[in-house]
Structure 1
Amino acid sequence: MEILIIEDESPAAKRLTQLVSELMPNSRIHGNLDSITSAVAWFQKNPAPDLIFCDIQLADGHSFEIFNRVHVTSPIIFTTAYDQFAIKAFKLNSVDYLLKPLNPKELAAAIRKFEQQRIQPTLPVEQLRELLQPKSASFKSRFLVKFGEKIQSIQVADVAFFFSEERVTFLQTNDGKRYILDFTLDQLQESLDPKSFFRLNRKYITSFEAIAEIHTYSNSRLKIKLHHCSDNDILVSREKVAELKEWLDG
């Protein structure tokens, strides 16, 4: 069986590949493709796979754009940190959509559903209802941090932004205090409410309140200034500008 993985976060792609390999040992996995552009190019040059695992939020936009550019009939299991795309995902050959971080049992159930549909292509009414039933996302409400010899809890509402520096991840509070976290930014992105935090680039995830200034920059990019932050070169790529504006306007 030919399987294609479209996922822009390397750790998530590796975990998905491992899980799929264990659950479908006779399959051959293609990818990982990490953008709309690379996915479109792949579909134009290769025969349709038997199954697609596809993240919704890619580096250069929503993956739905892939299927606006090329005709794809393969069944799709969407993976996403957001639950508001359920209806739209369902309309695009979707077998199921799974919320990140992926639960191996839910992934196994989605694969069983795909295998059943290969035998019985028409979805039963109960499966349709299940797909349309909103899934509740669980986001972190606090973080445990070490301060000297003490361990304390920081409420998410008190977090201004997260950033990575020399492979160390930091949490910075609204009053400018900084703490080391045992998380990567990729892991944090999956565990934070996307309505409250936005991934500016590879180094920063910010809350709305932490943004002090926004300036236009060369090549249609934006430069962000954060409160209590000495980094004056926080740039948002041209591909993420529209997504940031949508988040700010939400």
Structure 2
Amino acid sequence: MRVLIIEDERPAAARMKKLITEYLPEAEIFGHLDSISSAVKWLQKEASPDLIFCDIQLADGQSFEIFEQVKVASPIIFTTAYDQYAIKAFKLNSVDYLLKPIDPIELEQSIQKFKNYQLQPQIDLNQIKDLLKPQSANYKSRFMVKIGEKIQSIPTENIAYILSAEKTTFICLKEGRRLILDYTLDQLEEMLNPKLFFRINRKYISSFEAIGEIYSYSNSRLKIKLKGCDDNDILISREKVSTFKEWLDG
């Protein structure tokens, strides 16, 4: 049995491989592949695996783009932090999911489902993609933040950018204050309206209004200067440049 892991976080991929080995000891595990581009190249070159574990949010975009570029007949178990009601809808399409952080019991159940799985002629990934998109009404409009002994509601329109540093997430307000928020950037990326906020890299999510100067940089990358931010080395990878320009263009 050939199993492929597509996951851009090395510790998560290593843990996934360990758990899969426990429940599928006969599996020959390939990966991990950590980007859309590397996954497309692998799938174009190799025979389709018997099972794919695939993270939705990769460093260079959403993994749905993989299956738009290459035809894959393999059953797929997505790993995701998306809204569980949307996920429940797409589970009816006989494609399972695992909510991060991965629960070993849920993984075992997914593998059992795979063992009973009868391959369908075609997986409608466009339908899955639509179902997984959070509806606009589900985007966060405010966050509750603890400031000293007080708890304050912060509207999302007051956020300039969000920073992950030293294992802590900070929301940086347009007025200049920096407050701690109890979410990861991965979680926030799904909570915020993508028309208003963009995941620049592993450290930053920026609002449209916080984008200052933009410079061409080596290896087809971009360097960004955020308003009110002292970091002068904020880079957008080559893989994200096109998506970023489309976002800026509205």
Scaled by the length of structure 1, the TM-score of the pair is 0.70
1:90-140: CA deviations, max 9, x gaps?
A: 9xxx8537596689799888767655542x6458xxx99x85973562444
Q: Measure how far apart 1:149 and its partner are.
A: 2.8
Distance 1:246 1:95, change over 3 A: farther
For 2:55, the aligned partner's letter is D
Partner of 1:96: 95
Distance 1:197 1:112, change over 3 A: farther
CA-atom RMSD in angstroms: 4.2
Partner of 2:131: 134
3-state secondary structure, aligned to 1:134: helix
Distance 1:12 1:100, change over 3 A: farther
Distance 1:68 1:195, change over 3 A: closer
Tell whether the 8 Å contact from 2:210 to 2:227 is kept in structure 1 after alignment. Answer: yes
Residue identity over aligned pairs, in percent, reads 58
* Matching of residues 93-132 of structure 1 within 5 Å: 95-96=94-95, 114-118=114-118, 121=120
Distance 1:214 1:204, change over 3 A: same
Partner of 1:222: 222
Partner of 2:197: 197
Q: In 2, distance between residues paired with 1:51 and 1:147?
A: 47
Tell whether the 8 Å contact from 1:100 to 1:190 is kept in structure 2 after alignment. Answer: no
3-state secondary structure, aligned to 1:209: helix
Tell whether the 8 Å contact from 2:81 to 2:187 is kept in structure 1 after alignment. Answer: no
Partner of 1:159: 159
1:150-179: CA deviations, max 9, x gaps?
A: 222222222111112333321111211111
Q: In 2, distance between residues paired with 1:169 and 1:45?
A: 39
Residues paired across the two proteins, number: 235
Q: In 2, distance between residues paired with 1:20 and 1:12?
A: 11
For 2:217, the aligned partner's letter is Y
Partner of 1:52: 52
Scaled by the length of structure 2, the TM-score of the pair is 0.70
Partner of 2:24: 26
